Amino acid sequence: MVSHSSLGEYEETISRSFTRSANLRGLLTKTNCPQAIKQCQPMFQKLLNPQVRDTLITDMLSLSTALQDTENAVAVDSSNECNSHPIPQSIYEALVTSLRITPPRYADFLSHLTIGGITYTVSSKHLGNSHVLLALNESEDLVPARIDHILQLRIGDAVKTLIVVRRHERSQVPCDPFLRYPIVRAKMWSTQLKEFEIVAIDAIRSHYAASHITWDGIPVTVVTSLSRVSILRYFVSDDLKAQILSHRCTNRSVC
């Protein structure tokens, strides 16, 4: 195993966060803790309590969303940067193509929204939270895209929330090595993005992690699903699943 003594940004962030949380936890237990901090103790406890901050709560919220209507599961809090502006022409043309009606010329542009306890943002606010996997067709794989805008349109008596995305082009790599290991849920996509496209919020499935590399001289983006709710049959063939369950899988590399 290769190791080195130099620390990167990732290690520094983890160390700093751990130290700060430990200092705050210790301060709350001291008798000379400032009164202002004591009054905020319930809020700090929620921040520091690992049983609240782990992924269990997020998973529970994600699962509960499957039992309710997606529109009702969307939350737009008061801190959202919601502003009504004229719709740019490129986005307006995409709306006409998607809705097949004449949309209004003005819309509320949101900075973020929450679906099933998970926050999704526009790319200008937080690039990582704008990376989403979309289910655009039941017969196709999930498609990675970037959220550039979140719109709220008043159509008749209803207010409709739509996202403006740019999908990744398919990679030109002749052989994707990640396809040999479907359980990893990683796939190579092109770094190029398509034009604006309007997508309903119920097409969002999860965030994804992106890593930009060069493979066989071709710039690609390796996309890995960050969904923590998965079912084995979606990612593994029936034959392989039977071998795993019967403990007869002897080949570690499945091609």
How many degrees, rounded to 5, is the angle at CA 204 between CA 124 and CA 14?
55
pTM more than 0.85: no
CB 65 within 8 A of CB 73: yes
Instruction: Parse the chain into domains and list their residue ranges.
Output: 8-53, 54-245
* Tens of each residue's pLDDT in the chain, 255 residues: 444 556 677 778 878 877 887 888 788 888 888 887 777 777 776 666 554 445 555 555 555 554 454 444 555 554 555 567 899 999 999 999 988 888 899 999 999 998 877 889 999 999 999 999 999 876 667 899 999 999 999 887 888 999 999 999 999 998 999 888 887 889 999 999 999 999 999 999 899 999 999 998 999 999 999 886 544 434 444 555 455 455 444 444 443
- Alpha helices in 87-235, H assignment, sequence order: 89-99, 232-235
The pair of structure tokens assigned to 127 is 């690039």
Which residues, in sequence order, are CB contacts of 27 under 8 Å at separation 6+?
33, 37
